[in-house]
Amino acid sequence: MTTTQRPSALWSATTDFLASPQQLGLAATKPFDGVSVLTYWIALAFLIPASQVVEPVGAAGKPSVLFGYGLLLMWVATRFLPSAVLPGFSLSRWLVGIYFIVFSCAYAFGVLRGLSPVEVNGTDRSLIVQVSMVSAAIVAIDGIPSRKRFDDLMLRVIGLSAAISVVGAIQFFWAYDLAEFMTLPGLGLNGQEPIVTIDARSGFNRVSATTGHAIEYGAVMAMMLPISLHYFLHDKHGFRRNLLALATGLIALGIPLSLSRTSTIAVAIVSLGLAATWSGKTLIRATVVSLIGGAILRASVPNLLGSIIGLFTGLGEDSSFTARTSDYPIVFRFIRERPFFGRGPGTFGPTGYILLDNEILSSTVNTGLVGLAGFLGMYIGSLFILRRVVWTSPFDETRHLAVTMWLSMLIATIVLYFADMKFFTVYSSLTFLFFGMTGALWRLRGDRSRFDVQPRNFLKPKLRADRVRRARPLPFERIVNRGDRS
């Protein structure tokens, strides 16, 4: 069994002084580590509406973005503690680091090009946001000390996803926007119009909860669905399992309520991916539950499923679809002008140019082919790492978790084609958190989870730890193993 790295001293020196209950004269009841600060960060991203910012900072002044700089300071502080620096090689840390280097180069080349005032604001805002996101990712890579704390963080994200699904359901069924009341003192709209959280489509309320758009809302729900299913299936019978069942149902409900082609494609990917990896018995049960759920939804909201199907049958007449393809000639002309590092992050936007509903094209124009490679490298690398966890972990529960996280990351990758996803804070926060948690799961793949309580053969035999030979270590994995033994 692989000996895992346990950063028991990680964060201890900084958090003992900054937030230790003993230092504050309180009783120490729960640990405070990287998971604790990441919980605050992701809660701010999920629960504060996308339009609310700290007005003196401007559009980049979202609470979660500013909190990310606190994460960066904590991570930098731990670099000065030899006992807090993990030995060995972390592929996830390198992928995130390479992305930030090429992003910084694109930023520098953009400034050297000479920018208009509007472009300066856009590129500075983009830099501020990306520093925050990268900070959260590296804290997740290095700051999750055990598999128990990994599960704690994932359960909290599931709870937050269910919470915003409730907000979306209230918006859909009663056209009442709870997001208007979900704010903090000192936040405002920065002189902008509030984001429309309840729109109309096909005769229904198209909702976005606290996110920036219905596409983002549907994508986030689809990303969280397989992970919520994993924890529901593996938990013991009891109150927490009932809560996970409720959370999974709410997350699944949020997908059709977004009335989005993107989320429909995403849930189809989840279904196909689980069908390819689940055992026959598990698949039959899931199919029955899905059919019952679909029947209940159709009876409760007539014509909703038909409206979702209609989103795909009338593509040729849908302006939101044809507008995407009509932008291609304009975009390719700008790409040819600066193919390697682009025009500068955040400079090509609707204020000075056109709105691109395609993050692949947007990243290519703004950061060039090199920047796009660094950006997609985090997605592709995470998919690769999670696949290796499936084949190398000695526990079926961990393998199943890696499968569901792999599907989530695949969805996060595919939705890049359908919208300018870097603009959306909740999606970006969740994706960068998963980049970091992928690295943490790789490090902790040899630890048994408390959810691995009894043999539950949800996976096909060929994916189970006791049925197949372990995959041969790759070169970078041998480097990690040498670090484990040091």
pLDDT in tens, the chain (486 residues): 444 444 444 444 343 433 433 333 333 445 568 899 999 999 999 999 988 999 888 878 899 999 999 999 999 988 887 766 676 678 999 999 999 999 999 999 999 988 888 899 999 999 999 999 999 999 999 999 999 999 999 999 999 999 999 999 999 999 888 888 888 888 887 656 666 667 777 778 889 999 989 999 999 999 999 999 999 999 987 899 999 999 999 999 999 999 999 999 999 999 999 999 999 999 999 999 999 999 999 999 998 888 888 888 766 666 666 666 667 788 888 899 999 999 999 998 777 777 788 899 999 999 999 999 999 999 999 999 999 999 999 999 999 999 999 999 999 999 999 888 998 999 999 999 999 999 999 999 999 999 987 667 788 888 888 765 555 666 555 554 444 433
Domain membership flag for residue 58: yes
Which CA distances in Å does 4 have to 266, 294, 460? 33, 43, 26
pLDDT at 266: 94
pLDDT at 435: 97
Smallest CA-to-CA distance from 361 within 380, 348, 378, 379 is with 348
From CA 32, how far away is CA 472, in angstroms rounded? 37
Smallest CA-to-CA distance from 274 within 241, 229, 244 is with 229
Instruction: Dihedral sign for Cα 142, 147, 152, 154, please.
Output: positive
Domain membership flag for residue 110: yes
Domain membership flag for residue 8: no
- 224 touches 255 (CB < 8 A): no
Domain count, the chain: 1
Domain membership flag for residue 340: yes
pLDDT at 249: 96
pLDDT at 305: 86
Instruction: Dihedral sign for Cα 77, 80, 82, 86, please.
Output: positive
Residue 375: domain span: 31-485
pLDDT at 20: 38
Domain membership flag for residue 363: yes
Domain membership flag for residue 183: yes
Helices (H), 278-395: 280-300, 304-313, 319-326, 328-337, 359-392
pLDDT at 238: 85
Domain membership flag for residue 308: yes
pLDDT at 25: 37
pTM of the model: 0.89
- 65 touches 425 (CB < 8 A): yes
Question: Exposure pattern of 427-458 as b/e (b: 16+ CB <10 Å)?
Answer: bbbbbbbbbbbbbbbbbbbbbbbebbeeeeeb
Return the SS3 of 454.
Answer: coil
From CA 176, how far away is CA 162, in angstroms rounded? 18
Q: What angle do CA 310, 162, 263 make, to 5 degrees?
A: 25
Domain membership flag for residue 26: no
pLDDT at 195: 65
